[in-house]
Amino acid sequence: MKGNKLLYTVLWLLAPFMCMAQDSIPSTFRGTKENKIMDETHSIDSLFSKLDKKNRQVRIVSIGDSHVRGHVFTYTTRLFLEKSFGDWAVFPDEVTYRTTAIARETGEPGLIFHIFGVNGATAATFNTPENIALVDSLQPDLIIVSFGTNEAHGAYNPTVHKRQMDELISIIKRNTPDAIVLLSTPPGAYKGRGRHRRINPNTQKAAKAITEYAQEKGYAWWDLYNIIGGRQYAVRNWSRARMFTRDGIHFTTNGYQLQGMLLYQAIMKEYKAYGNRMEQNH
């Protein structure tokens, strides 16, 4: 994984297009859907309200598996959000695979985006006292929860998956009850090797369980799996674009940067909708 220099180069090249309404989904991708966050209760409005006031630290904490731990995916989102809302609340430390992605705060008001992923993690295995204590110490206003890839690689049970998600999120929110939750679905993956390699059918089930759980609990969700093509096209789209690494699970730098850009655009689309709602109420 390459660090800041490559990501800042991408930022410079894409800066003119960052706030465009049109998504960055490649035109060659088939079966895609609108890239947006589903937030039936407008829960993320409170995050935007805090950011607009510009009088305090506003913290986003992204937790998840190796897709998050690789730092390129959510670090791309972080850099774009800092570009939009200001980066004076954090020091410009280099972030690579070998470093932490816990931001070093300056004490100034503004956006702070912490990243904490664990290789091989599921919602259940991430749920340890040490991990929970770290997340709590970061005092999140928004928690982005990105699991599902590893759950889908075993014998999959959606009921168990939902229970494990609920156990993790519930224990985190005991100490941060006002934190907003945004769940994301896994991007899709292959299963097996060589001639036995095939698209993992459990990813569709995991994505469905995550979105159902979010609806049941009133949490926001970002359904990357179905946005990028769902059961029929998601994995094929990533594969045809040569954005998978050899294992068929993880992504190239370009693949993760695209995911990060899409998450940024979905957040900014929601921010624009929030602004429109505020105007209508005044």
- C-alpha distance from residue 87 to each of 79, 80, 113, 147, 179 (Å): 8, 10, 10, 27, 21
State percent of the chain over pLDDT 70.
92
Average of per-residue pLDDT values in the chain:
92
CB contact set of 279 (below 8 Å; sequence gap of 6+):
none
pTM, 2 dp: 0.92
pLDDT of 200 over the 70 cut:
yes
Q: What is the mean pLDDT of residues 30-58?
A: 96
pLDDT band at 22 (very low <50, low <70, confident <90, very high): low
C-alpha dihedral, 125 to 130 to 134 to 140, nearest 10°: 50
Q: Which domains does the chain have, with CATH numbers?
A: 4-15+35-188+195-280 (3.40.50.1110)
CB contact set of 27 (below 8 Å; sequence gap of 6+):
none
What per-residue confidence (pLDDT) applies to 145?
A: 98
pLDDT band at 10 (very low <50, low <70, confident <90, very high): very low
Buried b (16+ CB within 10 A) or exposed e, 86-120: ebebbeeeebbeeeebbbeeeeebbbbbbbbbbee
What per-residue confidence (pLDDT) applies to 282?
A: 73
pLDDT of 142 over the 60 cut:
yes
d(CA 88, CA 66) in angstroms, rounded, equals 28
- C-alpha distance from residue 231 to each of 30, 147, 242 (Å): 11, 18, 18
153-195 pLDDT per residue, tens: 989 999 999 999 999 999 999 999 999 999 999 999 999 887 7
pLDDT band at 18 (very low <50, low <70, confident <90, very high): very low
- C-alpha distance from residue 134 to each of 102, 115, 131, 168, 261 (Å): 10, 11, 5, 13, 26
What per-residue confidence (pLDDT) applies to 4?
A: 43
